[in-house]
Amino acid sequence: MRKRKIVDLSKAIRENKRDPWFMRVKIKHKPHRRARWLIWLLGLPFRLFPKNFEGWADDYISMGVHAVTHIDAPWHYSPTTGGQRAKTIDEIDLEDCMGPGLLIDMSHKADFDPITEEDITAFLERENLAVEAGMIVLIRTGADRYNGQPDFHKRGTGMSAKATAYLIDRGVKVMGIDAWGWDTPLPEQIRQAKAANDATVFWEAHLVGQEKEYWHMEQLVNLGALPYSGFEVAVFPLKIVGASAAPARVLAFLEE
């Protein structure tokens, strides 16, 4: 069997009071001893409890599907894609969730400076790489270093509409980024749209999904641990029926 190194590209799910309200995760851990009374109420006398059995631990979690590392479905961007009903997260083709990875390094880009098609083609040419159908393309911006900070959603760069369409047109169905969102930071988009009085600015990369079906991941981590190519990616989203997105465990596999 081939030995492979696994790189976890998913952030840990934990409570962090510094996160803004829309990213807040709440976890309640129930200790083993709490279950003793539940088991007793179900009819098992304490004297018949297995030896050294204190009960089972349990946990409750409350969070939005976009709060942590996740993959967005086309339904998130629009009710329709290309005139047809957009797919929800449970309708993703799992065949698209595993494939050869390609890392595009855009960590040199300044905050709020969108990643253009020209940025991507220049990188590919310089590194002698090519985008191929079926690849899972990962965009490294370095914004994951702000994870857990109150201004995470206000930092970094993001994809433009043309750069997004460029990947889709070459057969890429699943892509991802280590920033809070796929576009440039939301507050900056709002500022620019108002300053230019331009209705095409806000959410331009997401809205490519109104015409071209694609799925993208946000809030990835550890992309700096990957080479530009020569690795596999697997995305495991929760199967939430009718949802716009799902938290996902995203892994990269490197040959050793």
Domain ranges of the chain: 26-62, 70-255
Summarize pLDDT for 52-108 with one digit per residue, the tens.
998 999 999 999 999 999 999 999 999 999 999 999 999 999 999 999 999 999 999
**CA dihedral sign, ordered 76, 159, 246, 169:** positive
Which residues does residue 59 pair with via DSSP β-bridges, in sequence order? Answer: 29
Output phi, psi for 129, to 5 deg: -120, 165
Residue 4 pLDDT class (50, 70, 90 cuts): confident
pLDDT higher than 90, residue 127: yes
Residue 85: what pLDDT?
98
The CATH number for 70-255, chosen from 3.50.30.50, 1.25.40.10, 3.40.50.170, 3.30.1360.10, is: 3.50.30.50
Q: Across residues 126-131, what is the average pLDDT?
A: 98
pLDDT higher than 70, residue 248: yes
Q: Across residues 141-168, what is the average pLDDT?
A: 97
pLDDT higher than 70, residue 1: no
Compute the residue count for the chain.
256
Inter-residue contact 193 to 146 (CB < 8 Å): no
Q: Across residues 165-176, what is the average pLDDT?
A: 98
